[in-house]
Chains A and B, each alone.
Chain A
Amino acid sequence: MAEHVTLQKKARGERPQYFADPAIDKTLAITLALAGEVAVLRDRIDTIERLAEAGVAPTRAAVDAYKPDSAVRAERDAWRDTYLDTVLRIIHQEREELEQRAADTKPYAAVIEEVVAGG
């Protein structure tokens, strides 16, 4: 077998810092990566179940080689979107609150216009 090549992992250029404490930047990065790995595991379980349902022994080789068709991919897309609603609950909560507040900052005249326009 040919020699293993290691690719560069960090893009050159300074990484922006988004939070006052750089430990928060790291913690968020790890949390999102973990959310990804949970989704990977969930797909793996789904694969095992689907293979079993189809009467195929869910061996490691069979699971690793499994290629979801477009229907399965669509189901998984939908699952992941709901999963992200759950994982990112705190963000969606803040977004809802901001939406409410943004609506409240609208001048009353704008609200009348909207209602008249049928909104």
Chain B
Amino acid sequence: MTATQDLTTQFRHGVLPQTTSDEFSRQEFVKSLKFHLASKVSLGNHDAYEARAKPAYTKATGAEPQTYAEIRKAMSEDPYFAFWSAMQRNSQEMMWKSVQIPVERQLPDLIAAAGKGAAAEGTLRLNPDLEIPKYHRGVDIHCMPGGYHTEFTADDVANGAVYDTAVYIYAMGRMGPLNSDIGDTTIAWIKENHPDFKPRRILDMGCTVGHSTLSYCDAFPDAEVYGIDVGAPVLRYAHARAQSMGKPVHFSQQNAESTDFEDGFFDLIVSHILVHETSNAAMRRIMKECNRLLTPGGLVVHAETPPYRDLPAYDAFMLDWDTRNNNEPYWGASHELVATEIAAETGFDPAKAFEAYQPSAFEATERRTKVFQGGDFGGGGAWWLWGVQK
């Protein structure tokens, strides 16, 4: 990780949007609102469930709710849950608004800054003809207007800048000054479990602005690091951000389901919260592509929030909130994945599949709620990793 003095604010790299004091205050309010909802309001849902939703459901059906889907049914009409949900949804929309204001104001400057380049030897390869997958065209995932791919002007970096700032607010700073906790945590797991692993080439699939990608440059200084994504604006921004921080990464605009790299080109393929934003079919095509791209002995690791089967049914219900309330259509289904099953279906040896938990690399103990729940991203203090060795 790049040395920063202050662990309580976002690191100022070369293309981070500037904010006036009012703009910054508006973003800080959203961060506070999210933290207040997660730490002080959300827990009332559990009391509402115990005090009225569960008894009402049990009376009506003759049995207590067992699964998270049954709990959702029981809670669907609860007024406390509805009001919390409405506030949570608003906090999300207010977050995007609060970061769009400064990005809109200074977009030409950001585009100019992104074009300047700097010290590192990274590259950027865009493909204007790439077809954006259907699962990204239907709805704007997690309510980010325009998603990762929409371009609002020539050489656009807007939604890269929007995403970078918003993730810091969304995670309430608990992924660190570089928003790198998922990457750093995945790396910690790899180093603990494969201490002698020396990958020559590393691929980060669905890298967005490179929050996780850049950590691999420091963790494996002898490796070449590649990042792919389908969105051009986020990749332009990722490249500019990496260059300004002196991290050499090769970014290219490609669909992870079918890339132009040679067979066996990579020793390590990782993704960080990519899987839940794809689809059942796409996820399997991505794993088949990983199989093609890996050298024998190579490793693929995907980082996500825990599968529902590992959680008490009530917690799974709360974690599932995003599926219906935050434009995350594949969130629910992706939380049912079983690593051995996917491995078997995609040509890997299921005996070499794994599922694991790794505690968050970034220390933010005092602000962690230690629960996995909607609207509390990065609050759980651990990430779920799954994958397979070829």
Interface set of A (CB-CB < 8 Å, partner B): 1-13, 15-16, 18-19, 25, 28-29, 32-33, 35-37, 39-40, 43-44, 47, 63-68, 70, 73-74, 76-77, 80-81, 84-85, 88, 91-92, 94-95, 98-99, 101-102, 104-105
Task: Report Cα–Cα, A6/B153, bound state, in Å.
Answer: 9
Contacts of B22 in A (CB 8 A): 40, 43-44, 64
Q: Say which residue of A6, A63, A95, A102 sits within 8 Å of B50 (CB atoms).
A: A102
A-B CB pair tally, cutoff 8 Å:
169
Known contacts A36-B33, A36-B94, A98-B51; A7/B104 CB under 8 A: yes
Query: Residue-by-residue, is B144-173 near A (CB-CB < 8 Å gives 1, otherwise 0)?
Result: 111100101100101000100000000000
13 contacts between A and B (CB under 8 A): A7-B104, A11-B143, A12-B139, A18-B82, A43-B25, A68-B21, A70-B9, A73-B28, A74-B8, A84-B36, A94-B44, A95-B47, A102-B47
Q: Which residues of A contact B9 (CB under 8 A)?
A: 70, 73
Q: Which residue of A lies closest to B55 (CB)?
A: A105
- Residue B20 CB within 8 A of the other chain: yes
Q: Which of B50, B86, B97, B150 contacts A19 (CB 8 A)?
A: B86
**Known A5-B153, A73-B9, A102-B50; contact A11-B36, beta-carbon cutoff 8 A:** no
Give every chain A residue within 8 A of B83 (Cβ-Cβ).
18, 28, 91
Task: Give A73 to B47 CA distance when docked, in angstroms.
Answer: 33
Given A36-B26, A36-B30, A44-B21, A13-B138 contact (CB < 8 Å): yes
A65 CA to B237 CA in the complex, in Å?
Answer: 25
Known pairs A6-B104, A105-B55; A63 contacts B21 (CB<8 A): yes
> Please, how many angstroms separate the alpha-carbon atoms of A78 and B36 in the complex?
11
Interface SS of chain A:
helix
Contact residues, B260-292 vs A (CB, 8 A): none
Give 1 or 0 for each of B47-59: 1 = CB within 8 Å of chain A CB.
1101110010000
Within residues 104 to 133 of chain B, which ones have a CB less than 8 A from any CB in chain A? 104, 107-108
Cβ contacts under 8 Å, B103 to chain A? 7
Q: Which residue of A lies closest to B367 (CB)?
A: A77
| Given A7-B158, A28-B87: A80 in contact with B21 (beta carbons within 8 A) | no
Q: How distant is the Cα of A41 from the Cα of B21 in the complex, in angstroms?
A: 10
- Judge whether A28 and B86 touch: CB under 8 Å: yes
**Bound CA–CA A3/B152 (angstroms):** 12
| Residues from 44 to 72 in B contacting A, C-beta threshold 8 Å | 44, 46-48, 50-52, 55
Alpha-carbon distance between A4 and B104 when the two chains are bound, in angstroms: 8
A65 to chain B, nearest CB (A): 7
A-B interface, 5 closest residue pairs, ranked by CB to CB distance from nearest: A13-B139, A95-B44, A2-B108, A18-B86, A101-B51
Contacts of B139 in A (CB 8 A): 11-13
Assess whether A7 is in contact with B152, with CB atoms less than 8 Å apart: yes
Q: Which residues of A contact B93 (CB under 8 A)?
A: 11, 29
B44–A32 CB distance below 8 A: no
| B354 CB within 8 Å of chain A | no
Contact B152 A5 (CB under 8 A): yes
A99 to B40, CA, bound (A): 12
Closest to B100 in A: A7
A67 near B82: Cβ-Cβ < 8 Å: no
Docked CA distance A80–B30 (Å): 10
- Kindly identify which residue among A12, A36, A63 contacts B29, using a CB–CB cutoff of 8 Å: A36
Closest residue on chain A to residue B20 by CB atoms = A64
